[in-house]
Chain A
Amino acid sequence: MPFRRILIGFSSWSIRLPNLWECPSLLIKGRLIVKTTYRNLTILNYWLIDIGLLKALLICPPMKKYIAGFLLLTSHPCALQAASEDVLELNVEDLLNVEVTSVSKKAQALNDSAAAIFVITHDDIKRTGATSIPEALRMAPGLDVARIDSNKWAVSARGFNSRFANKLLVLIDGRNTYTRSFSGVYWENQDVMLEDVERIEVIRGPGATLWGANAVNGVINIITKHSSKTEGGLLTGGGGTEEQGFGALRYGAQLGEDTTGRAYVKGFKRDENTNALGAGAGDDWDKAQGGFRIDSNLTLKDELKLQGDLYHSHLNQTITIPQIAAPYTDTFRDKAETYGGNILGRWQHTVSTSSDYSLQLYYDYYRRNEAWFSEGRNTLDLDFQHRFSLLDNNEVIWGFGYQYTHDDTRAGRLLSLSPTSRNDQLFSTFVQDEMELIDQKLWLTLGTKLEHNDYSGFEGQPTARLMWTPHSQHRIWGAVSRAVRTPSRAEHNMTLLQTVVPPSALNPFPTEVNLQGTRNFRTEDVIAYELGYRTTFIKSLSIDITGFYNDYKNLRYPTPVAYYFDPTRFVVVQPVPLGNDYKAKTYGFEVATVWQMLDWWRWDANYSLLKTDMQDTSPPFGTSPQQRVSLRSALSVSKDLDFDLWLKYVDENTSATVYGMNHIKNYVTMDARLAWRPVHEVELSLVGQNLFTSSHLEYQQENMVMPTLIDRGMYGKVSWSF
């Protein structure tokens, strides 16, 4: 007997039962729909669900035709759709009248890269109510995002997290946001107009071959929309308890026949959080930022992009700094200031569909003035990339880059660099070949990066990746790569006052413990093994699993050397120079799934497991959370009403601080968002963040900043497009 598909309940669940009149196909969507075919007519009947009748229909095959007929006869609201059974037999007119949906695309599309990639879309950012880049990054599996206080974050992929984490590469529209000062990212300096973000690609694992040094554990690519997609105005504003006030204005327009552009300004003020005593932590901040982007098609084959940003920010912080005079420590409120800007130009020339090249040049400046240290940095960066195909089944990308950076620092109460100003250069070149070994089935990618920097000389970073698609709904990939984290300016040139030991009966003088940069500090390196599988074998459900094993060598390890007495200051000095003597291994897996349960209800869930094996029991760094869970529900109650929930679980972690290891408890928290669009152009939304507790601790910075508990927050927002 032929079987016909019957849909019951949610449109993505189906049960198969015997055929047609004996048992009409069913579809329930809050109502019961009996779909029958008479000649070429498809008849759809709608009722409120009657479980009794439904059971009879399902259980009692001989009765079915009569019950069905009875239902048909007695049904009152009855819709008729004159259409053939098969969509392919619908005529064009009907095809143009049918309601189409593309919502399940995200649940079905599989990424083709042989790497652990996760994409945060514009819509994801909007629906979580995230107000900064690091907060949005919490959506990605394998990423450890911890808020230290209002204006500081610790972000890393696959472990080794800290405020000054150094194994992640972050790019905004092709501009590297990493600073040579500590080989990491000042997250509070990095912002964009979130409404103009097209997507954020999060790549876990080494991406060094294409992206360069410091892409040891991951690459984050923040990509804003092409200016042709942001024409018109957008005005947003709002405020609340933690997000005390914010606003943004963007306007985009056609600037010429082949040129479009946009400009924006934004600003915000964020409230302080809570310290361990339950009082205000003094970490409030504000920021104003503006920028522009222009895209132009000079010819059909040439595209030019010019963009830039300027920002200014006040970062307030309560810091605790050791001192050699009693009481040997000083806690005070520091009103730090940071400002900067960047400008980037990119020219792309298309030779053919299989060949193009691009040239990119940017300049970036930032200045930070803090009580413990201040620095200004100029960076000029040039990049060239060329893609072409070779012998029909090879796609080659090669390129080279040059970076010049100049800094100007001033010693603060904690940190000084010697020399105070320094120029550094970086030369790099890379080549990668993607070979299609079996047509549409098997690809092998081999590549390597070679660079020369002023700190550690030449570095090679090869990778081999294999991608197999046995079927259009399955992807299996594996990779082995080596990546390095090159030394930072601080690791070579710093003197960092770590602690002061007060005088004691044995030692009448205070002892100053100084972390000391050394010129023979080398690169840290990793060999990473990855294996991944992606599938959508169930309709409207995609699963992405990645396992990894990372073997780190030459990790930074401070070792105390002989102390000495400084007669000019009457202090004992204990230098602790940095070495490369530590080894560690991390392994684990990440699962990310998207389930489009209904056209109007999507679930995004991910789970990450990270195990860290240290060389011994006194590691020089903390341990990132072993488990993380993110569960999001995006419910479109109606076309004009969204209701979103986001549940996060973060396992316990250990922060390595100058006060010793600080054990941070695990936490569960939830964000919620309700948005209503009274008219198409206007959206009103209400967002609650960290709802479960009035405040919770996520991380403690390595030094200076005392534990700060992150407060619950609520804000309302209005956005108007015109």
Chain B
Amino acid sequence: MASNKKYWRSVEELNENSSIVDTLKSKEFVEEIPTDDFLGDKESLEKSSTTRRDFLKYVGFSTAAATLASCEGPVKKAIPYIVKPNQVIPGVADYYATAIADGFDFANILVKVREGRPIKIEPNKEIGGSTNARVQASVLSLYDSMRLQGSTNKGASISWSDVDAKMQQILNDVKTSGKEIAFLTSTHASPSTAKVMAEFSEKFGNVRQVTYDSISESAAIDAYAAIHGSRALPSYDFSKARTIVSIGADILGDWQGGGHDAGYAASRNPSNGKMSHHIQFESNMTLSGANADLRVPVKPSKQNLVLAEIYNAIVNNVSAKDKNVVNAVKQLKKGGNGAVVVTGIQTKEAQLLALAINNKLASQVIDVTITNNKRQGNDAEVSQLIADMKSGKIGVLFMNNTNPIYTLPNSKDFVDALGKVKTTVAFSTVENETTSKVDYVLATPHFLESWGTVEMKKGEISLIQPTIQQLFDTRQFEESLLKWSGNNTAYYNYIKDTFADFGANKSFGQALHDGSFTVSSEEIDTVITNGVDLAVAYQKVSSVKENAFELQLYTKTSLGDGQQANNPWLQELPDPITRTTWDNYITMSAVDAEVLGVTNDITSNGALNGSYITLKSGKVVLEKVPVIIQPGQAKGSIGLALGYGKKEGLKDEMKVGVDAFPIYKDFLTSQNVTVELASGTHHFASVQMQNTMVGRSEDIIRTTSLTVFNTKDQHAWNPVPEVPYDHSEITVRDENADLWDTFDTSIGHHFNLSIDLNACTGCGACVVACHAENNVPVVGKKEIRNFRDMHWLRVDRYYSSNDTFEKEIEDLENLPAFESYEKVELASQENPEVAFQPVMCQHCNHAPCESVCPVAATSHGRQGQNHMAYNRCVGTRYCANNCPYKVRRFNWFDYANNDEFDFNMNDDLGKMVLNPDVVVRSRGVMEKCSMCIQMTQASILKAKKEGRPVADSEFQTACSNACSTGAMVFGDVNDAESEVSKLKEDKRMYYLLENVGTQPNVFYHVKVKNTGV
């Protein structure tokens, strides 16, 4: 049945005579579509023989042709040398012994060079070299794309010959004007630089040289000078220590130039039943405090009182009141000549008291005859220089390897003073705040491109030699000075020619090969001069007034004084304590945070947000400083790292943090401040949010006390997990506890890595070494915040939820039913026990990752390594989910050649640091620690070529090689003589999460603390 309903499309249809309706009957649109407008020239279009179909044909054909053509591989060129240097064999690495001396870090190193480019820095162990994270990373700073590539005069580039002509004229003018020539330099500690400067002074006269350390140790040097007559630092050998009392000295950090960790770790080995006792009085949680047997959180001002009381008790035999001091004094007396007191309080008086105490103790740990030259700065002279600059006494100012405009607390003063000096010259490797304000910027080479000498410790001189041709148009500071003094010898020849003057114990060639030589030196009188009035010093130290909020400034293991701020490896290195990257921040105690209303929140994706505060000290105001609530921070104190907040000579991504140098008044690391809450939320990029082990320290980090370790059976403090089998308990190492078939690993090599948690200080050098060796990409702050960090090796840090891990376990056991786990989940804020644990792929013999890979991309090798074939991986990430150790890392993006990740892998210069033996992984694949299989394979191949067995010391991984404390030992357990196979039999040996049954090839050693004394 037809319907009579009439459907209409618009009201227009109701209008009977509508032209629109009529038009729409025959056409789709009411108006002509103005195709001519957008097609353009109508005539030529009509004339054209190409129809739309033809056009589509052409498009189709060309697309297909392009696709087909792209199936062919690209033509690759190979360009050999014209004249190959004899010592270079393409594909074989050379090693050169040299030293780093950048004014902040000093170390004897070996540089691995491939085809003429340095790619890795290793400690020169034969002459006692050890490297920290910054030294390890310094090879990347060589390839910094923001380096100075040539010299400039007021912004315009200038050739070296013009520089020489101008300088000659300027220097002669100054000489005739009678004004002074001033040098402001970092600590050189270089005998040959000193010689060059002496020659320069002789020629021009009226030359003043001022050494300036951005992080000053001037107080300690002055104290030493007051007693021993010359400005220097004593050296410390903590391996001889039986009792260490540190008052605010981060002996495992950068205190007095750093490098004390190897000796410290040596005294902490409990194997023969003895180890040193370490008491740390400090306000911030430092590495030293985290490793101490007893840590006492004390405000900076109170540290003075602690020191004064200890002094009084030891030197004047006045008994102390504070129970912690009483204990410390007792321990010091017990330690005899193995006791030592060190302090980081940056006043001359405090340092004098410490020296006096050690003298009274007759401490063998401190050596005042062999001085430590890593810091030589003189704060008084720096102030004097600035004053003289202002009064116009200085005619020309030369600055070498120093950035006072950034690092000086009174940098505005300095900038004013600069204006009063007629000519200012900065020698610098990188562009920085200072180079932008001076007349002449003279580009100097990186230390890996330079010649030099450095005397870090008295009597031991290291040679610095270049490991690459100078990349840019640079000239060494010394070479310039020599030239201007009229000496045209190259600095290399100068060192060689004057080598005989040192009276070295070996030839120049031999010294260059070894990296250092020794010279005999005259003894220093160890007797304290009578002129020092210690009573006055005591008076001053004991009367330090307390302030409501005291700021303790410190340097991070990653950035140090900030001169390598453009180094992405260091920016991404997590702070060992806060586990936060790409930032500095205020560390504050929970009590203070609550009072101020400061919060740390964890967002829904697990990332950390924090409040801002405003920090005031006198006239200096630091706005918007983010805060992290730090367990163990002394109440009423806050911490802030120097070296951040730089703006010049950095890629945008690296401009992070707050510049704390303006608050570093009078070079005092502790300052009285006021704080108030500011608005806004800061986004942190932390890599670890889980702070405690939730009472599972038996599975994760086993700790025990020295007393228990010495007196009780191994089963009591290091039990092997047990499982029921056939109505009885068997250990998981029993073959009946094993579901899997094993293959015979007793023939050939079987690699194991031993990690001694007693020796591990958490310094993070291994993390950077792993970056360098394995081409691990940097992902940037944003991606770290998404927990997409790529570190193959992480150093986990755990706090105890109660005072100690032991009590945490008890808490868990006594947790009432239906009680929340919060009690054991949250870190103790007051003074938790801290433990570090490096975790990398455990190379399980029964690897959970291997059995779940759908494409067999990860599989086990006969030598114990868990292999990862990146090209086979399809990126299901099943393995990462199944890994109980969470050590697998997924490549979410292409990190190389990607502008979104503008780090070293995105520029030609930065790529030169890549290890050619390890592939750069692409997007969508899983990666992880390979146990440096490229290194073990290379060692094996070398032995095969030479037809001999592999020596134990030849097997290394990047991390074990970088470890200065010997915490990581790598080797072949099938070689009964190897160190690692002995460590495997040690009673402290245990496996991480052993009850899972994965049978790892990485094992740990129980952490023993000397607490129960």
A complexed with B: no
